[in-house]
Amino acid sequence: MKFGHFDDQNREYVITTPKTPYPWINYLGSESFFGLVSHQAGGYCFFRDAKLRRLTRYRYNNVPTDSGGRYFYISEGKDYWSPSYMPVKRELESFECRHGLGYSKITGKRGGLKAELLFFVPLGHTAEVHQVTLTNESSAKKSFKLFSFAEWCLWNAQDDSANFQRNFSTGEVEIDGSTLYHKTEYRERRDHYALYHVNAPIAGFDTDRETFFGLYNGFGEPDVVAAGESKNSVASGWSPIASHCLVVELAPGETKTFVFTLGYVEVPRDQKWEKPGVINKQPAKKLIEAFSTPAQVTAALAKLREHWNGLLGLYALSSKDEKLNRMVNIWNPYQCMVTFNMSRSASYFESGIGRGMGFRDSNQDLLGFVHLVPERARERIIDIASTQFADGSAYHQYQPLTKRGNNDIGSGFNDDPLWLILGVAGYIKETGDWGILDEQVPFDNDENNKATLLEHCKRSFDHVLNNLGPHGLPLIGRADWNDCLNLNCFSETPDESYQTTGNRVGRTAESVFIAGMFVHIGPEYAALCQKKGQADEAKRALGEVKKMEETVLRDGWDGEWFLRAYDFFGKKVGSRECPPGDAQILIEPQGFCVMGGIGVETGQAKQALDAVKERLDTRYGIVLNNPPYAEYHVELGEISSYPPGYKENAGIFCHNNPWIMIAETVIGRGDRAFEYYKKIAPAYLEEISEIHRTEPYVYSQMIAGKDAVNHGEAKNSWLTGTAAWNFVAASQYLLGVRPEFEGLSVKPCIGTEIPEFTVTRKCRGATYNIKVKNVRGNGDVKLTVDGKAISGNLVPYAAAGAVVNVECEA
């Protein structure tokens, strides 16, 4: 069942009912000011850091779900309603929400009055613009009141949700005409405040929540709206809000537009006050002036569209499969950008107060957005590498505001270091910026202890070699990619973290997955060294890779597939020998070992992928393991804590499915790779939205596996490495256009279901028009570049500004 449709022309998803199977959200902002907005106008906004600079309040896990947001209420006679349906839930004559790239437009109609709410964050500004357009579509004159509503968060979202003995006494506001200021804590250490403004005279306002709603009322029944009159309340302590009241009259057919600005400003410490107790409003006024007319809003929205046109033009696919087109051209890159901006901080599943930026996560995300914003990718790499320790290990997470490693979680996730090499290599392939390797980058942010970025990569590489276990396989540490495979944890006490509790500091538990990564990523490190004139080091690296490959085939091969690990006691994890209540095969090493080329020549790669098909594939995607762990295993950790079919215990983890897609292309099975792609790509799941439940335009982290009660139900949409990896799989391996160090590789491997397609790829300033005829679909290609046949699959990089025409028979 569908709850809307794609509008590819406008790059929007159009939701046509408020009653979607779950709140379907969008993101506003791509610089420093961000907002989350659901199709019912739920959500919140923040400046840079969702934990430390939260502007508006949102209560997670609430009843009903998704209550709280930027709400508009229309009060007409005895009737009052919201154009976004929530929170009043009065039936509407029509409803539509268009989620576009960086903006959302919600339109509701009742009693012949149409109200369109447009939300976006204009480029270059630290504010959300809410434009409300009201049209009288009835035949009678209308006079009504429009109320706005936003609830301030007292900046630190964690403190805001817990420290009531203090917070109920700190709230402070100022009112200046049509601008309502939130200045809690400004009197002491904060040099910033927030404001909510409307570009018209107001009939009244409220800033005290209790006065606005009435103590025992919810969002859907504010006293003020029901009475049709603001009470001009001035908050003092308790919970400050911002609500304007506008009196509106509309002749039949008439339209009026109001522009609201919800913004954040910082003031230099020595200029904080206009006079004692009165905040300096100069910076706020500048912001307000930028959006005082609808024409300014239209111009800012056009600029935002332009911005996205530019970004999405960098990789453009034209094929007969409109679902594939919309994933590759619009929604997957869009999700990659959002993931870049948010990491794993703020979504409807991530509370914005939990994690910082992941070392592993950020490096992987980079693979999906590096072609969109290479200069920001460069900055991100330096930030990430600056948190690395001198021995090559890494803080698992760092805080975006301070860019410092997060001590609570610390280090010891032994796959982390290798991801840095992958990120750096991906960046150089895209840009040709070899100079980044010479950048002096600190270890653990210590300016007195710096080395080149290439040296950081060496430390990453060597960290694996310095931490090998009894079989010569890499030690897993706290966990590897699978944060929930905690082989040294042995947690028996509720409430302790599986991942950071390590009461066995043995050097025995080994990961075949990290070995596969090492074999896949090691040659990239060797290529970096080679280019930098370190031929001996490159040779050494390739020698170690070769050795690891042999080790995997000797001690990491289970007979029909790759083993997952050896546990603390040296017992096999993910083996045919495991009992039926335990996982016998896990997905991760099958993907990464084959991506690294292990067993491709000798047949194990094909065998492993056949085993994936047989044991892990389902109608909704590939599960992480099979069978699921039936019981909790203290020696395995969190993986066995989940009920069968959920999360890392045999859920369909959409993050690692693309590894299998890529692995299938490594052995030339394009048809199977595409089959897997379609199973989890959201555009292909639109028709089963009632089962899938999360947004049909973005990936979710997890879909419940075949052993779960609700097989096919997705959770944790938006902020997941799934976005980057699926984009990499689709654009670089299935469609096969991939930047390499010395040229653009063109090697489609997508089967024959799509007989032909065209990709326009901009890379290093040149444009490549690539026309593909798919006759084999197995990665075996014949290329013609500007009319001349070439051997191999590498199109040499052209000068910036050049246009290169490539014909490909695949």
Provide the annotated active-site residues.
Answer: 483
Q: Does 96 bind ligand BGC (CB under 6 A)?
A: no
In the complex with ligand BGC, which residue's Cβ is closer, 328 or 724?
Answer: 724
How far is it, in rounded angstroms, from Cα 366 to Cα 361? Answer: 9
Does position 344 bind ligand BGC by CB under 6 A? yes
If one asks whether residue 116 binds ligand BGC (CB under 6 A), the answer comes out as: no
- The rounded distance, in Å, linking the Cα atoms of 387 and 54 is 25
d(Cα 219, Cα 674) in Å, to the nearest integer?
A: 46
CB of 414 to ligand BGC, least distance (A): 13
Assign 3-state DSSP to the chain and report helix, strand, coil percentages, each to 5. 30, 30, 40
Q: Are strands 803-809 and 766-773 parallel, antiparallel or unpaired?
A: parallel
In the complex with ligand BGC, the residue whose CB is nearer, 360 or 692, is: 360
C-alpha 634: how far from its chain's center?
32
In this structure, what is the dihedral angle of CA atoms 637, 643, 645, 649, given to the nearest 10 degrees?
0
SS3 state of residue 478: coil
The closest of 117, 118, 122, 104 to 36, measured between CA atoms, is: 104
555 binds ligand BGC, rule: CB under 6 A? no
Q: What is the nearest approach in angstroms of ligand BGC to the Cβ of residue 50?
A: 16
Of 82 and 722, nearer to ligand BGC (C-beta) is: 722
Nearest distance from residue 58's CB to ligand BGC, in Å? 21
Report in angstroms how near the CB of residue 7 gets to ligand BGC at its nearest: 32
Nearer to ligand BGC, 250 or 680 (CB): 680
| Cis bond upstream, residue 644 (ω within 30) | no
CB of 705 to ligand BGC, least distance (A): 14
Comparison of 205 and 659: residue with beta carbon closer to ligand BGC:
659
Query: Which of 384, 484, 663, 772 touches ligand BGC (CB under 6 A)?
Result: 484
Distance of alpha carbon 269 from alpha carbon 279, whole angstroms: 11
Least separation in angstroms between CB 512 and ligand BGC: 16
In 241-331, alpha helices (H)? 282-290, 294-312, 322-326
Q: Show the 3-state SS of 70-129.
A: CEEEEEECCEEECCCCCCCCCCCCEEEEEECCCEEEEEEEECCEEEEEEEECCCCCCEEE
- Closer of 107 and 364 to ligand BGC (Cβ): 364
Cβ proximity to ligand BGC: between 481 and 676 the closer is 481
Q: Do 748 and 777 touch, CB atoms closer than 8 A?
A: yes
3-state secondary structure of 534: coil
Q: Classify residue 628 by its DSSP letter.
A: P
Size of the site for ligand BGC (CB under 6 A): 9
For the record, the structure tokens of 373 come out as: 């914003």
Q: Which of residues 596-625 bind ligand BGC (CB under 6 A)?
A: none
**Shortest separation between residue 363's beta carbon and ligand BGC, angstroms:** 10
Closest residue to ligand BGC in the complex (CB): 483
Q: Which of residues 419-438 bind ligand BGC (CB under 6 A)?
A: none
Q: Is 713 near ligand BGC (CB under 6 A)?
A: no
416 touches 396 (CB < 8 A): yes
- Listed ranges 90-98, 355-363, 438-446, 508-516: which one lies at the site for ligand BGC (CB under 6 A): 355-363
Q: Minimal distance in Å, beta carbon 703 to ligand BGC? A: 14
Judged by beta carbon, residue 183 or residue 344, the one nearer ligand BGC is 344
Name the strand (E) or helix (H) holding 279: strand 278-279
Assess 361 for contact with ligand BGC (CB under 6 A).
Answer: yes
Rg (CA), the chain: 28
Shortest Å, Cβ 770 to ligand BGC? 32
Task: Give 437 or 636: the residue with its C-beta nearer to ligand BGC.
Answer: 636
Choosing from 360, 380, 520, 572, the residue that interacts with ligand BGC (CB under 6 A) is 360
Stretch that binds ligand BGC, among 356-364, 529-537, 746-754, 778-786 (CB under 6 A): 356-364
Q: Taking the complex as a whole, how short is the minimal distance between the CB of residue 89 and ligand BGC, in angstroms?
A: 34
Considering the complex, state which of residue 26 and residue 716 has its C-beta at the smaller distance from ligand BGC: 716
* Least spacing, CB of residue 758 vs ligand BGC, in Å: 35
Identify whether 64 is preceded by a cis peptide bond (ω within 30 of 0).
yes
Q: Is 416 in the site for ligand BGC (CB under 6 A)?
A: no
Is 648 one of the binding residues for ligand BGC (CB under 6 A)?
yes
Contact 432, 764 (CB under 8 A): yes
What does the alpha-carbon distance between residue 304 and residue 290 come to, in Å, rounded to a whole number? 15
SS3 state of residue 615: helix
The helix (H) or strand (E) run that includes residue 618 is strand 617-618
Site map (CB under 6 A) of ligand BGC, residues 453-482, x = contact: ----------------------------xx
Q: State residue 358 phi and psi, 5-degree precision.
A: -80, 140
Residues 6+ apart with CB under 8 A from 63: none
483 is an interface residue for ligand BGC by CB under 6 A: yes
Instruction: Report d(CA 22, CA 692) in Å as an integer.
Output: 10
Q: Which stretch binds ligand BGC (CB under 6 A): 196-204, 358-366, 368-376, 547-555?
A: 358-366
Shortest Cβ 413–ligand BGC spacing (Å): 8
**According to the binding rule CB under 6 A, does residue 130 interact with ligand BGC?**
no
Binding of residue 366 to ligand BGC (CB under 6 A): no
Kindly write out the interface string for residues 288-327 of this chain, putting x where it contacts ligand BGC by CB under 6 A and - elsewhere: ----------------------------------------
Segment lying near ligand BGC (by CB under 6 A), choices 353-361, 442-450, 503-511, 520-528: 353-361
Question: Which residue lies nearer to ligand BGC by CB, 328 or 409?
Answer: 409
Give the nearer residue to ligand BGC in terms of CB position, either 366 or 454.
Answer: 366
Cβ atoms 210, 187 nearer than 8 A: no
The H or E element containing residue 593 is helix 587-595
The 94-99 sheet, strands edge to edge? 4-7, 12-15, 94-99, 103-110, 113-120, 127-136, 255-266, 192-198, 179-182, 173-176
For residue 87, whether the previous peptide bond is cis, meaning omega lies within 30 degrees of 0, is yes
Contact residues for ligand BGC, defined by CB under 6 A: 344, 358, 360-361, 481-484, 648
